[in-house]
A and B are shown apart, each in its own frame.
Chain A
């Protein structure tokens, strides 16, 4: 039965569409367009179409930054996965009465300002920071570790920031895992190791993918974490874009970088989408 469109429906849809068109779709189109225009020192852009912005990206300097960002994002994702998976698994399968409290303790950092948490890592890692103070006092090291302002610090900061984003989707997925699969595996003679790698991991792949995407995407475009923890010398893609917009005044180049990154991310988003659909289908069994 086809309904007449009610005035409320029209109002809702128009409001939503109007807002999103003006503040999401049009800006996206503008970004795309600008990436094909020429920079101009007076009025931001000259209306001369060109693909030179994209060609400039093949400059080894830029490629190096891209690779570094990829490297950071991948390392961050893997570390988060290795730390986060066992953790999510233990909590999700526990029979503990305070299970929801345990989960809440993970959600709290998730809601907290990531800037504040990055700052907290600074406090720990700096030369006169907690880590060094403790290690020196314990006699484990004799000179303070210069971790701050290095790639390692950026990685630590990144993992610290994004770990809850890995844990939460993993938890949600592992919790839904039917206990009977594990029992059936044990009944058939599988030891813990086999059960984990042949049954648990394959059946929780949607969670792994969800968590990985939610960590990888922000990790690629982090921009204040490298500034605070890496000092001025470690440039990543986020910093590069910022530089083009706010310092170098080369907006077309900045947008070109953004477009390329977005396309790269688009691939990951599609993988995520596909797997979340499959998850729905399998859980109907």
Chain B
């Protein structure tokens, strides 16, 4: 395979991956309300967004939800990862398998099973059902991310700490968490984006009282292509890009 065809092929794939996104971004600045023919540059769709109170409130909801879900999931997921890494306990293999299954299982199955749970317990659908669902969604991803990093740690340092009299909690607080900080941060960011972008689970377990962004976008998108939607998507894309950059930085900075 010569060098030219290699370059050509990779560039084609990158174009495939980015062209649709580029189209959305470009046409969010298009001064035309329906067609996709370029009719001049404008930012009016963006300003419209910022004046749309409903949309702003919904976005606020999503961010709040994301922060709470990511933080809780990171806490529980980190505990799970550390326990799997450090301790032997009854049912360890089951826990391992459960995490594995949760990551691979389709979201729709998780969605309906949680819906069943909520009906069974007679919990009205709304903020709390959504939050608990998102946390459950994110926990396995945090666990896998943190665990992968944990396996690169030298277990001798724990023995040394115990030898010096540290309790498990102290070891966790002062040794494990600082050393795993990049992975924990990465896990948090991953959970945040998962929560922010989640459509499937939210679709099933949310109620009318708590609107979130992806569902709002979904209903807008079903009505067809609209410039306001383009603008909104562009903003979200930019935001995700920012998050990825931060996550990448935090991993690569600490790697040396």
Contacts and interface: CB of A to CB of B under 8 A. Distances in A.
Asked if A and B touch directly (CB within 8 angstroms), the answer is yes
Interface of A: 6-9, 12-13, 15-17, 19-20, 22-28, 30-31, 34, 44, 83, 86-87, 90-91, 94, 100, 102, 104-109, 111-124, 126, 128-130, 133, 160, 163-164, 192, 213-214, 217-218, 220-221, 223-224, 227-228, 238, 241-242, 245-246, 251, 254-255, 258, 261-262, 265, 269, 272-273
Nearest to A196: B1
Nearest 6 interchain pairs by C-beta: A120-B20, A27-B113, A113-B197, A221-B106, A6-B168, A8-B168
Nearest to B170: A8
B185 interface: no
Contacts of A22: 117
Interface in B203-228: 203-204, 214, 217-218, 221-222, 225
Interface in B92-119: 95, 98, 100-102, 104-110, 112-117, 119
B217 A108 contact: no
B153 interface: no
A106 B108 contact: no
Given A12-B82, A13-B83, A113 B116 contact: no
Given A6-B168, A19-B139, A217-B104, A113 B214 contact: yes
Contacts of B214: 113, 115
Nearest to B173: A8
A272 B104 contact: yes
A112 B168 contact: no
A30 B20 contact: no
B171 to A, nearest CB: 8
Q: Is the interface of B mostly helix, strand, loop or mixed?
A: helix
A272 B236 CA distance: 33
A113 B212 CA distance: 14
Contacts of A9: 83, 87, 89, 168
A27 B76 contact: no
Interface residues of B, number: 80
A124 B225 CA distance: 10
B89 A112 contact: no
Given A8-B172, A115-B217, A273 B132 contact: no
B116 A251 contact: yes
Given A123-B20, A129-B36, A111 B244 contact: yes
B17 interface: yes
Q: Is the interface of A mostly helix, strand, loop or mixed?
A: helix
A83 B13 contact: yes
Given A104-B248, A113-B196, A128 B36 contact: yes
20 contacts: A8-B167, A8-B169, A13-B83, A16-B79, A16-B95, A20-B139, A24-B136, A31-B113, A31-B116, A83-B13, A87-B9, A104-B244, A105-B14, A111-B190, A119-B225, A126-B225, A214-B104, A217-B106, A228-B222, A245-B204
